[in-house]
């Protein structure tokens, strides 16, 4: 690693490689490798770098910062730290559990508390643009603490419509009718009533799940089975013999 020219290098500190190496070995023992170069950090302040040979720390380096007082030839050690280099092997960036969680991760006995700042929810006393919610939320003692916000409903709409219960599936493409015209279709309440319902057909693969009104499956209540064609009558033969007279 070449010496940087960002700041003027101090000749005394640059030459004190042995002092810096001794300080690094006092910290890292035999895990200190070759000298990689130095960097001037300021007036009479310089850092020496040594390769780190610790298992699992590929590309890391020991950084030993030296300094000296004005008009003094005595070199002092400020600090010794282990730092990642440009090609260092680093741990993945930490992601909060709330951002790592995915649908289906919740198991039996798990608790998933909703954040107080969850944008999908709003206090029940606020207008939610949902008539069904509003009719309940303003009843004293009967309203829920929080209800879904417009953002929450929009996200649910997009998720459901693009999922297995939406119209863009092979099952829906080959269905004899749409869910909205099926007798087993149970519309949900609220502002999403015109778009979604719950399937109540035990023989449908979507039984108990949310489906869009324009989805469909082969278990549609009005699916008609075409009657089998009647077999043709047996052939008759006329041999010219009058059966009654015979």
Distance CA 189, CA 102 (A): 27
Is 103 a residue whose pLDDT tops 90? Answer: no
pTM above 0.85, yes or no: no
Q: Could you tell me the sign of the dihedral formed by the alpha carbons of 98, 104, 106, 112, in that order?
A: positive
Label residue 141 by pLDDT band (50, 70, 90): very low
Question: Of 143, 137, 146, which is closest to residue 115 (Cα–Cα)?
Answer: 146
Q: What is the pLDDT of residue 9?
A: 78
| Residue-wise pLDDT tens digits, 159-209 | 999 999 999 999 999 999 999 999 999 999 888 999 999 999 999 999 999
Give the percent of the chain with pLDDT over 90: 54
Work out whether strand 121-123 and strand 76-84 pair parallel, antiparallel, or are unpaired.
unpaired
105-131 tens-digit pLDDT: 877 777 777 778 888 888 766 655 666
Quote the tokens at residue 210.
């949310």
Distance CA 85, CA 59 (A): 5
Helix (H), strand (E) at residue 48: strand 45-52
Q: How far is the C-alpha of 30 from the C-alpha of 48, rounded, in Å?
A: 17
Model pLDDT, residue 163: 93
**pLDDT(229) > 90:** no
Tokens found for residue 130? 């949902």
Amino acid 4: pLDDT: 44
Residues 193, 158 contacting (CB under 8 angstroms): no
* Of 80-84, 193-197, 215-219, 241-245, minimum mean pLDDT range: 241-245
pLDDT score for 5: 45
**What's the average model confidence in pLDDT over 90-116?**
79
């Amino acid at each position: 690693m070449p010496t940087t020219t960002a700041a003027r290098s101090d000749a005394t500190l640059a030459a004190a490689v042995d002092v810096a190496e001794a300080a690094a070995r006092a910290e890292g023992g035999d895990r200190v490798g070759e000298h990689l170069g130095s960097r001037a950090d300021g007036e009479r302040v310089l850092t020496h770098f040594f390769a780190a040979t610790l298992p699992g720390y590929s590309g890391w380096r020991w950084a030993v910062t030296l300094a000296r007082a004005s008009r003094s030839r005595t070199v002092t050690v400020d600090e010794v730290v282990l730092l990642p280099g440009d090609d260092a092997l680093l741990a993945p960036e930490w992601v909060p559990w709330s951002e790592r969680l995915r649908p289906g991760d919740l198991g039996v006995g798990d608790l998933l508390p909703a954040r107080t700042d969850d944008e999908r929810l709003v206090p029940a006393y606020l207008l939610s643009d949902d008539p069904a919610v509003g009719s309940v939320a303003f009843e004293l003692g009967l309203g829920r603490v929080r209800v879904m916000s417009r953002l929450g409903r929009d996200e649910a709409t997009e998720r459901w419509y693009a999922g297995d219960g939406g119209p863009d599936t092979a099952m829906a493409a080959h269905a004899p009718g749409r869910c909205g015209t099926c007798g087993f279709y149970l519309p949900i309440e609220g502002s999403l009533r015109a778009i979604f319902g719950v399937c109540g057909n035990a023989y449908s693969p979507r039984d108990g799940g949310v489906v869009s009104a324009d989805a469909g499956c082969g278990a549609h209540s009005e699916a008609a089975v075409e009657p089998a064609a009647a077999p043709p009558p047996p052939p008759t033969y006329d041999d010219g013999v009058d059966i009654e007279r015979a």
